[in-house]
Copies of this chain bind each other. A is one copy, B any other.
Amino acid sequence: MPNLLYAQSGGVTATINATASAVIASVRRHPDRIGRVYAARNGIIGVLRERLIDTRHESDEAIAALAHTPGGAFGSCRFKLKSLEQDRAHYQRLIDVLRAHDIRYFLYNGGNDSADTSLKISQIAAQLGHELHCIGVPKTIDNDLAETDVCPGFGSVAKYVAVSTREASLDVLSMAESSTRVFVLEVMGRHAGWIAAAAGLAGRKDGDPPHIILFPEVVFDEARFLAAVKDAVERHGYCTIIASEGVRGPDGKFLAEAGTRDAFGHVQLGGVGPLIADKVRAAHGYKYHWAVADYLQRSARHIASRTDLTISRKVGAAAVELALAGQNAVMPVVRRLSDRPYRYAIEPAPLSAIANRERKLPANYIRADGFGITAAARRYLEPLIAGEAYPPYVDGLPDYVRLKNRAVKPRLPAYEV
C-alpha cells in the first residue's frame, strides 16, 4: 500500500501540531487506503536527507495529545528550494526518497514558500513519472496566504496579542499617575499587520487601549506618532502602543533593521519596541516600559483560540481527504460564509494561486489616521479569537507531549544539504 509523508515548514505555531494530529488520526481511519504516515524530520531538509520518522510507533493517545502541544513535533525548517532548473539535483533527490519509501501522498504544512515548494514537487514528480498527490496544508501566524479566509495558527497568536494588550494596559493604567505612562508591545508581522491589528480587539470603545497601532502598511511618521502619544497621555493618562516588527520609515527601511539575515535572505528583525519607546522618552520624557513577545506569542498554546484550533484540525483532515480523492497541487483553505455566527467551509484551492503570493491587510481595515483598526477589521478578526481551548495541566504546567520520533531506516546513499 502507498505511504503518506507529512512535513512541517517555516515558523511554527501554537496549533500546527493540531494539524499534524488530525492528519495522522485521519490516515489511521483509512488502513485500507494508506500504509504508513511518515513525518519528515525538520521539514524538507529531512526529506532530502532521508531522515524520516515512522509515526506508527506513536500511540493514539500521543497523537491526540499533539493537538494541545505547541511547536513543531517533527521539527521544522527554514529552507527554500529554488526553481526546478536551479535546484534540479534537490528535486531529483526528493523524488528518489519518495519513490524509495513508496510515498504517493505528500502533505506539506507551511506558508506561501512551502506552497511553492509543494507545487514544484508535484511538477517534478509528474516529469519523472512518480505518481504523487501533493497537498499543501496551510499554516502561518502571519495570516498572509492568498485564497483562505484565515491561516491556521493566526487566530491563536491574535488571541494572545489581544489578551496581552488588554492585560498589560490595565497594569500601565494603574501605574500612570506616578510612574509608567507609555507601554510599547512589539509583535510579529514583517510585511503584513494582521497580528498588530488583532491587538485592536482589546479595545471596545473610544479611549480604550491600544491607543496607537503601528502597521507595516503605514509609513512611520515620527512627528504625527509623537503627537498621538501626547494626545493619548493627556486625554487618558497613559498610552498603549502596539508596534509591528515590520514598521518602516519614509526611506522604506525597517525602523529596527538589525542587519542579520535568515536562511531565506529575510532581514532578521527585533527591537522596534525599545526603539519606539526611546523616541517617546526623548520627545516627551514620559516613563515607559516595553515588551517584545517574540516566540511567546506564537507558541502560547495555553491561550489558543478554539476557533483556530478547530480550523487547524479541519485542514489536516481535509488534506488527507483531498489526497485520497486523487487531488494534486491543491491546498484546503477556509471560505467564510458568515461573520457572526462564524460559519465557514473548507475547500480546495490550487497551489498555483497561493504560491509566493502575500495577502496584506486591506486598506479598509486600517483607521483613517493609520493608528487603529476599523469596524470592518473587527468584524473580520473577532470570530478568529473566539473560544478557549486549554491544554491539560500537571503540577501547574501544561502537559505537552514529546513523541518518540523513531527513525525509518534509510534506503538510499547519504545526501548532504
Given A170-B70, A175-B11, A175-B12, answer yes or no on A291-B292 (Cβ-Cβ < 8 Å): yes
Tell me the nearest residue of chain B to A78, going by C-beta: B179
In the complex the two chains form, what is the Cα distance from A349 to B166 in whole Å? Answer: 36
* CB–CB B174/A72 < 8 A: yes
Residues from chain B with a CB closer than 8 A to the CB of A271 are: 269-270, 274
> Can you list, as one digit per residue, whether each of A159-190 has a CB less than 8 Å from chain B (1) or not (0)?
10011101110111111111100010100000
A262 to chain B: which residues have CB within 8 Å?
A: 179, 287
Of A30-38, A112-120, A124-132, A385-393, the one touching chain B? A385-393
A382-408 Cβ-contact flags toward B at 8 Å (1 or 0): 100111101001011110100000000
A22 in the interface, Cβ–Cβ < 8 Å?
no
Interface residue from B75, B178, B270, B275 paired with A77 (Cβ < 8 Å): B178
A79 at the interface (CB under 8 A from B): yes
The answer to whether the Cβ of A296 comes within 8 Å of any Cβ in the partner chain is yes
A301 on the interface (CB 8 Å rule)? Answer: yes
Interface class of chain A by DSSP:
mixed
Residues from chain B with Cβ under 8 Å of A76 in the complex: 174-175
Within 8 Å CB of A290, what residues of B? 270, 292, 294
Q: Chain B residues with Cβ under 8 A from A219's Cβ?
A: none
Please measure, in the bound complex, the distance between the C-alpha atom of A267 and the C-alpha atom of B260, giving whole angstroms. 18
Answer whether residue A98 sits at the interface, using C-beta atoms and an 8 A cutoff: no
In the complex, what residues of B have CB within 8 A of residue A269's CB? 271, 274-275, 277-278
A289 lies within 8 A of B302 (CB): no
The residue in chain B whose Cβ has the minimal distance to the Cβ of A262 is B179
A214 interface hit (Cβ, 8 Å): no
Using known A-B contacts A159-B396, A178-B263, determine if residue A71 contacts B173 with beta carbons closer than 8 Å: yes
In the bound complex, CA of A301 to CA of B163 (Å): 10
Among residues of B, the one whose C-beta sits closest to the C-beta of A395 is B382
> Nearest B residue to A73 by beta-carbon distance?
B174
The chain B residue sitting closest to A268, CB to CB, is: B287
Chain B residues contacting A201 (CB-CB under 8 Å) are: 396-397
The answer on a CB contact under 8 Å between A167 and B396 is no
- A60 CA / B330 CA spacing, docked (Å): 56
A305 (CB) vs chain B CBs: closest residue: B396
Measured CB to CB, the closest approach of chain B to A376, in angstroms, equals 16
Which of B274, B302, B390 contacts A167 (CB under 8 A)?
B302
Determine if A299 is an interface residue (Cβ-Cβ < 8 Å). Answer: yes
Q: For residue A386, which residues in chain B have a CB less than 8 angstroms away from its CB?
A: 395-396
| Min distance, Cβ A46 to any Cβ of chain B, angstroms | 8
Give Cα A277 to B289, complex, Å. Answer: 20
In the complex, the chain B residue whose C-beta lies closest to that of A387 is B396
A78 touches B164 (CB 8 A): no
Measured between alpha carbons, how far is A307 from B395 in the docked complex, in Å? 11
User: Closest CB-CB distance, A163 to chain B, in whole Å?
Assistant: 5
Mask for A250-265, Cβ within 8 A of B = 1, else 0? Answer: 0000000001101110
A184 to B, closest residue via Cβ: B294
Residues in chain B near residue A289, CB distance under 8 A: 270, 294-295
List residues of chain A with CB under 8 Å of any chain B CB.
8, 11-12, 14, 41-43, 45, 69-73, 75-79, 159, 162-164, 166-168, 170-179, 183, 185, 201-202, 259-260, 262-264, 268-271, 273-275, 277-278, 281, 287, 289-296, 298-303, 305, 307, 382, 385-388, 390, 393, 395-398, 400
